Amino acid sequence: MTPPASSPAQNDFLVSETDLWLLAEGTHLRPYEVLGAHAFTHAGVAGTRFAVWAPNARRVSVVGDFNRWDGSAHPMRARPSAGLWEAFVPGVGPGALYKYALEDPNGQLLPLKADPYGLAAQLRPETASQVATLPALVPASAARQAANAVDAPVSIYEVHLASWRRKPEQGNRWLDWEELAAELIPYAVDMGFTHLELLPVSEHPFDGSWGYQPIGLYAPTSRFGDAAGFTRFVAKAHAQGLGVLLDWVPAHFPSDAHGLARFDGTALYEHADPREGFHQDWNTLIYNFGRTEVRNFLVGNALYWLERHGVDGLRVDAVASMLYRDYSRKDGEWVPNRHGGRENLEAIAFLKRMNEVIGAERPEATTVAEESTSFLGVSRPTFAGGLGFHYKWNMGWMNDTLRYFGREPVHRRHHHHELTFSMVYAYSEQFVLPFSHDEVVHGKGSLLTRMPGDRWQQFANLRALYGYMWAHPGKKLLFMGCEFGQAREWNHEASLDWHLLGDSLHAGVQTLVRDLNRVLRHHPALHAQDSEPAGFEWIEADDSQHSVFAFVRHGREDGQTMLVVCNLTPVVRRDWRLGVPRPGRWHERLNTDSVHYGGSNAGTPWGVAGTEPIPSHGRTHSVLLTLPPLSTVFLEWAP
């Protein structure tokens, strides 16, 4: 009897023995090329090959709109050596909907499961996977590698695609990939940002998770169109010189019945013990990083986004929750590691492996850790004992800075250290300075409303804050809406308040951010040595009485020097003598109190200060400046 097309003869396997070996060993760099649904020609017949990992299932079938969701129509054949099941279905092509029907080890039928390696998915609330063409490999780019380098100017615009801009006249709908490419990319380019960072675009069932509880880790969300549309979006961003980073979530996944939870009737992707496998904070499941196939699934996914969609890098979410077994847990609610400690050794090994694979296979890409603890070496190479990330979010800087700027100026003298402390550890890691979506949700208000004083002072404080941020060592990240001083807290179900740009103060903040990005790009002193102590020099760190800070940023080449002065009280300070590192003329390049930004236009006359041979602040030469109120001023040296 001739076997059906869905059950090839025993000597006619669909997945090769080599692939099985690499998958079982956990060294298959691109498991997505083998598992999932792929175009395939079998015995001269075109169709789709399906393969899924379900080692403990008693029986598996592929069901879909091509067989009326009938679990008896296309049973899959087991490949026990790797715990895989495979099937070929003739005539099935891109666009077909499918799931897997599985029986658990006891023969009980499980809820239909979406494909863990599915390349596309239905729009929620539907939950089927969709057959899609594997995107072509995106070639490496020397231009992108230069743009992602540690000494490059990096200013990141963080975006939640569903609420950046909507179409209220069309039922408040989202923009699709083509519209986002036509509107978001030119806007970010005009604003001078170097990169977009997108909140997770992996398919997720609940809008309110913002993408941080994904189920389809290999599927760009269908909210904005098909998967190919996302690939085109990234390509169009690159064509305009804009990089694309993705928020990526390997820490946990939701427990929805159609997802990874107890995929084959057992704790397959997650830990069986809830003390290891359940996140109390988020009501989600934790990946079993000690399992070979799970690590392979995640490492392959990281490489997939970089190679197949061409994204520039991954910002890894919730790294702190991965590093520690007792994260947000009380005594007795967690299981120590094999040495009796609290570190999650398996998660640490996974993160190192992921960064090593990316470094070897996609060296132009960058990885960023959202890590909020004092774990050592997050952004150090693995060969030096680190985790291998390129950058770590500087959460300490963010918290201290917002705490300081949120204080009434009269009280700031008592908290001067909140701005100076960051330089104590500024070079312990390679940092990104983040004002992210997390700072404008959950009752925190907006950055603007967190500033003290009347309306004018709130805007002046915000402008001074941004000036200080762009001058401080570290790459920059700003969440959408913050660039024009959105007044209300972010709402993921509504568009940003673009109408505020009709107000001169909001428009002034936007102009300032655009100019800050321009200055950052054009002056190596502000970026070339972001991660090197030689790039920073304090001039005045101790004047708590006047809340004045002054420092110099240095580029690699002689003469690349920028003096930055912050006056964080609402008082104009005239004839302010400040020591400088070299004689010459210091030209004002940016003043956050400029009338163009909504300020009072105070400042040093003509915007130029010549040095005098008068010692001050331990330097042989000094300048006399006028310090505007609640301001940050940039002055560039010229001989």
Instruction: Tell me the backbone φ, ψ of residue 161, rounded to 5 degrees.
Output: -60, -35
Contacts of residue 89, defined as CB under 8 A and 6 or more positions apart, other chains included, come to: 5, 6, 47, 48, 50, 62, 66, 67, 74
C-beta neighbour count of 138 within 10 angstroms: 18
Q: What value does the CA radius of gyration of the chain take, rounded to a whole number of Å?
A: 27
Question: Which residues are paired to 591 by β-bridges?
Answer: 633
Catalytic residue, candidates 370, 400, 429, 439: 370
Q: Are 84 and 24 in contact (CB under 8 A)?
A: no
- Cα–Cα distance measured from residue 260 to residue 285, given in angstroms and rounded to the nearest whole number: 9
Question: What's the CA gap between 100 and 63, in Å, rounded?
Answer: 6
DSSP-derived letter for residue 582 is S
**Which residues does 56 contact at the CB level (< 8 Å), separation at least 6?**
83, 104, 105, 264, 265, 266, 268
Q: Which of 545, 585, 588 is nearest to 567 (CA)?
A: 545
Cα 602 to Cα 261, 451, 563, 629: the distances in Å are 61, 21, 18, 8
The tokens for 131 are 């057959």
- Enumerate the β-bridge partners of residue 33: none
Write the CB contacts of 500 (distance below 8 Å, at least 6 apart in sequence): 484, 485, 486, 487, 506
The β-bridge partners of 38 are 49
Phi first, then psi, for residue 343 (nearest 5°) are -70, 140
Integer Cα distance of 540 and 538 in angstroms: 6
Residue type at 431 in one-letter notation: F
Strand 36-42 vs strand 45-53: parallel, antiparallel, or unpaired?
antiparallel
Residue 60 forms beta bridges with which residues? 102
Three-state DSSP class for residue 21: helix
Cα–chain center distance at 481? 17
Q: How far apart are CA 629 and CA 610, in angstroms?
A: 22
Known catalytic residue: 317?
yes
Short-list 449, 467, 466, CA closest to 458: 449
618: left (phi over 0), alpha (psi -120 to 50) or beta: left
- Please say whether the beta carbons of 180 and 174 come within 8 A: no
- The two tokens of residue 627 are 């310090």
Kindly name the residue from 293, 317, 429, 636 that is annotated as catalytic: 317
Q: How distant, in Å, are the alpha carbons of 39, 193, 483 from that of 478? A: 41, 10, 7
C-alpha 362/C-alpha 308 separation (Å) is 11
Q: What is the distance between the terminal CA atoms of the chain, rounded to a whole angstrom?
A: 91
Q: Does 293 participate in catalysis according to the annotation? A: no
The residue type of 344 is N
The full DSSP string for 188-217 is HHHTT-SEEEESP-EE-S-GGGTTSS-SEE
CA-based max dimension of the chain: 101
Which amino acid is it at 297?
A: F
CA 593 – CA 514 distance, rounded (Å):
15
Nearest to 276, CA basis, from 219, 338, 344, 350: 344
**Residues with a known catalytic role:** 317, 370
